[in-house]
Amino acid sequence: FSLSTVIGPILGPPIGALFVTYANWRWIFFTNVPFCLVGAWLALRFVDDLREPERSTLDVVSFTLMGMALGGLVFGFETGGRGMLPLSVALTLLAAGSASLVAYALHARGSTNPAIDLGLLRGRQVFSAAILGGALLRMALGAQPVVLPLLLQLGFGMSALWSGSLTIFSAIGAITPRLFLRQIVRLAGFRRVLVWATVAVSANFLIFAVLWPGVPIPVLIALLLLSGMGRTTLMLSLNTLGYAEVPPERMSRATTIVSMSQQLFNSLGVSVGATLLSLTLALRGASDLGAADFWPTYVVLAALPLLSLFYFVPLPSDVGDELSGHRGG
């Protein structure tokens, strides 16, 4: 099932690069339409219409507050520091989003069916580590698809086609751990895999910080392969482990939190990467990115995964052993 999710990342960058180079960038978005139509048809044709036996009513207030919170925070981060909107507007969006989030948390305490059940984070160390620790990881990993092509094109002078072709190797690297991750987790345990994979991802970002124009292509390919391997190792481990202590009757609510956090923090990662580059330009008083402008961004991106260790290291040494078959030691 998970192998199908890497087909898009493998084919997307070179196809997008072909459109940008030989056609028009708008075709990148037009191409989504037939794929969406085919996906909708496949879902209607092959996915069973499974429903929970008990239906719950929609909490309109919590739904509205959470929508306002996510919209304000994501759009505020996206526009802040990039000149898309006045800074005062971006700060207003962030303040409104933060206020809505606080209002949501207060309202959700007395709601029997909140849009996002934050109560699942209380008293569940493993689930909290997967969500909160994973949030920091997803922000760093979500920035890479934006920062890397800019580094290759504006920093190293590569064409869009060449840059898009190279990023295939990150997706290829993402396939590899799926073949042997089960055996590694069984041998080492979930906690060790999470800790050492997090350190490896951080080190990978630091290496990108010291790259220079003219770096040998095999070095770039190796770094991209390792980047994809680290990303998949962490995300598969977190997604598997996160549900270990969730009772079956609350599984659908847990799935909602996981899906929301993935989308939210991946989006924030895009905003963080773009904002960091914009701040570097502003501090330098320049208008065009150069190779020397990327290392501060990669240093910050390397620090974000290390903060996840505050959630991963305290996990019990035998966490998830019933899932992986690890016997300690």
What are 16-27's pLDDT values in tens digits?
888 888 888 898
Other CB atoms within 10 Å distance of the CB of residue 236: 19
Q: What pLDDT does 221 receive?
A: 92
User: 81 pLDDT exceeds 80?
Assistant: no
Cβ atoms 153, 318 nearer than 8 A:
no
pLDDT band at residue 97 under the 50/70/90 scheme: very high
Q: To which residue do tokens 């974000």 refer?
A: 304
User: 265 pLDDT exceeds 80?
Assistant: yes
Alpha carbon distances (Å) from 216 to 155, 253, 256, 263 = 14, 47, 43, 34
Q: Model-level pTM greater than 0.75? A: yes
Residue 20 vs residue 205, higher pLDDT: 205
DSSP readout, 45-66?
HHS-----SS-----HHHHHHH
Quote the DSSP letter at residue 116: S
pLDDT band at residue 180 under the 50/70/90 scheme: confident
Cβ atoms 231, 113 nearer than 8 A:
no
Q: What is the mean pLDDT of residues 161-175?
A: 84
User: 123 pLDDT exceeds 80?
Assistant: no
What are 292-328's pLDDT values in tens digits?
889 999 999 999 999 999 999 998 888 888 777 777 6
Residue type, 39: G
Residue type, 212: W
What are 102-121's pLDDT values in tens digits?
999 899 888 888 888 877 77
